[in-house]
Structure formats: C-alpha cells, structure tokens
Amino acid sequence: MATHTPIRTCIACGTKSDKRSLLRVVRGADGSVCVDASGKAAGRGAYVCKNAKCFEAARKKRTFESKLRVKISAAAYDRLEEEFSTVCAESANTCSRDGE
C-alpha cells in the first residue's frame, strides 16, 4: 500500500494513468491558470497527458475551462502551452530514466 500511486484521468483523451505520467494544470486563488510541475499546488486541478496532442485537444474543446471553472484567454493559453511543453521536455528525461 505504501507504493500505491494515485490514478488520474486525462481530461482530453480519458486515459487513466498514474499521477506522475500526467501533468497537472491548476487554477490559483487569483483565477490564473498554470502548470503545476510539483503536483502539489493548492487549488482546483485538471490532469492532462504529457502530450502536446492532449493539450491541444483540451484547449480546442475548452475542457480546461469547464474543468477548472475559469475563463482562459488566448494569451493565457499560449503561456500555459509554453509552460506545458517545458515541463514535458524536462520530465521526459527523468521519466525515461526511472521508468523501468
């Protein structure tokens, strides 16, 4: 039980995966939305695969907005997308190493 990893669902494709394979996007107290690289930030969160396709799909369908119950402007999305790809690139390195 000590090694149990919480399972989360990608809001774009519906894939269930352990928390570490998904990326958390969180809505802060001020209504701004950002990528939660630590997975520990307070606030309403939504999970998406570490995959640009899923991010794009969630953006197009406005899934982030309905899940996080917040309006996200195009500029905020662009910033979010940039954070997302940065975190994806960073975790891709670490994940492939400790994945086995």
Enumerate binding residues for Zn ion (CB under 5 A).
10, 12-13, 15, 49, 54
What is the token pair recorded at 64? 């982030």
Report the nearest approach of Zn ion to the CB of residue 8 (Å). 10
**C-alpha closest to that of 22 among 84, 97, 98:** 84
Report the nearest approach of Zn ion to the CB of residue 82 (Å). 19
DSSP H stretches of helix in 1-100: 52-60, 63-68, 74-98
Q: Please answer whether residues 59 and 77 qualify as being in contact, where contact means their C-beta atoms are separated by less than 8 angstroms.
A: yes
Report the nearest approach of Zn ion to the CB of residue 59 (Å). 12
Q: In the complex with Zn ion, which residue's Cβ is closer, 49 or 68?
A: 49
CA atoms in the 13 A half-sphere facing the CB of 9: 6
Q: In the complex with Zn ion, which residue's Cβ is closer, 42 or 66?
A: 66
Q: In the complex with Zn ion, which residue's Cβ is closer, 15 or 85?
A: 15
